[in-house]
Amino acid sequence: MNNGVPSILVVDDDVDTCRNLSDILTDLGYRVDVAHEGLSALDLVRRNHYDVALLDLKMPGMDGVTLYREIKRLRAGTVAIIVSAYASSATAEEALTAGAWQVVAKPIDLTKLLGLVDEAVGQPLLLVVDDDQDLCQSLWDVLRERGYRVYLAHDERQAAEHLKEASFRVVLIDMRLPRGDGGSVFHLVRDANPQARTVLITGHRSETEQAVQQVLKEGANAVCYKPFDIPNLLTTLEGLVEQD
């Protein structure tokens, strides 16, 4: 669990750059981890939740964009800011297409970068628990676009892990999961993230209706039926986030 202190991962093959960013961010009260290449960065990502990852674009071995793609597979909720000494629009575009949030140029404008880090940390953290990977990816794109940070879990076990490591504002729970079901995920949320709002999602209206009603009675905040009415879902989410 992050104890409410936002955590930042800094990856740059330049040791001095890492030390400096670490000193500056630590001084501002962030928890900072540092790695000098992709594989050790991924080791850290497997073990810890990071709110923001600052990734150098050009590194020996794995480049920053490839590294971000791997991070996204493990922890889709980590916001990536790519740092580049080349101001090429092609690489910037590639990074943004991969889902990175921002691309900033070296030498870094720190006022701007710290502003971005602060903004990213303030973006509401969501968890989507659904075994449909395509749906998850589409939702990720739609919600990211709206300024949410979105973690993805495809079964109850993954959901449990994420819930242990970060505190979510809203959790979207598919009622039917291959291992476990929406009801037990709801209980997990209530235990690990009691402050989190919950939205139930279901495509099997008749089969799951009874379970849905049960979980709503226990305190789930809303229910959305598949296929999604996206504007409706977004309005629901906005309402839930604003209540805090």
Partner 1 sequence: MQPEQLYRRYQELQQYVGWTEEDAKRVQSVAELLQLQLPALIDDFYEEIDRHPDARKVITGGKEQVQRLKGTLLRWIEELLSGPYDMNYVVRRWKVGWRHVEIGLDQVYTNVALSRLRRGLLRALEDCLHDDPQEVLAVRRSLNVLIDLDLAIIEDAYQAEYLARQQRTERLAAIGQVAGGVAHELRNPLNVVKTSVYYLLNAKNPTAEKKAEHLGRIERNVILADNVITALSNFAKLPVPNLRPFVLKQCLGEALETISLPAKIQVRAELPDSLAPVLGDIDLIRIVLSNLIRNARDAMPDGGCLTITAGEADRSVEVAFTDTGIGISAENLSRIMEPLYTTKARGLGLGLSIARAILDKNKGSLRVVSQPGQGSTFTVRLLAAPE
C-beta separation of 144 from 99 below 8 A: yes
Which residue blocks in the chain are alpha helix, DSSP H?
A: 15-27, 38-47, 64-74, 89-97, 110-122, 133-145, 156-165, 182-192, 205-218, 230-242
**Of the residues 74, 85, 118, 141, which one makes contact with partner 1 according to CB under 8 A:** 85
1 binds partner 1 (CB under 8 A): no
Nearer to partner 1, 31 or 58 (CB): 58
As measured in angstroms, the least distance from the Cβ of 80 to partner 1 is: 18
118 binds partner 1 (CB under 8 A): no
Judge residue 119's burial from the number of C-beta atoms within 10 Å of its C-beta, 0-12 exposed, 13-18 middle, 19 or more buried.
Answer: middle
**Of the residues 1, 14, 138, 205, which one makes contact with partner 1 according to CB under 8 A:** 14
As measured in angstroms, the least distance from the Cβ of 105 to partner 1 is: 8
Nearer to partner 1, 13 or 70 (CB): 13
The pattern of x and - marking residues 62 through 81 that bind partner 1 according to CB under 8 A reads: -x------------------
3-state secondary structure 42-78: HHHHHHCCCCEEEEECCCCCCCHHHHHHHHHHHCCCC
**Of the residues 1, 23, 93, 157, which one makes contact with partner 1 according to CB under 8 A:** 23
**Of the residues 31, 58, 69, 226, which one makes contact with partner 1 according to CB under 8 A:** 58
d(CA 132, CA 129): 9
**Of the residues 1, 74, 87, 230, which one makes contact with partner 1 according to CB under 8 A:** 87
As measured in angstroms, the least distance from the Cβ of 43 to partner 1 is: 17
C-beta separation of 70 from 38 below 8 A: yes
d(CA 119, CA 144): 13
As measured in angstroms, the least distance from the Cβ of 85 to partner 1 is: 4
SS3 128: strand
SS3 117: helix
Give the residues lining the site for partner 1 (CB under 8 A): 13-14, 16-17, 19-21, 23-24, 27, 58-61, 63, 85-87, 105-108, 110
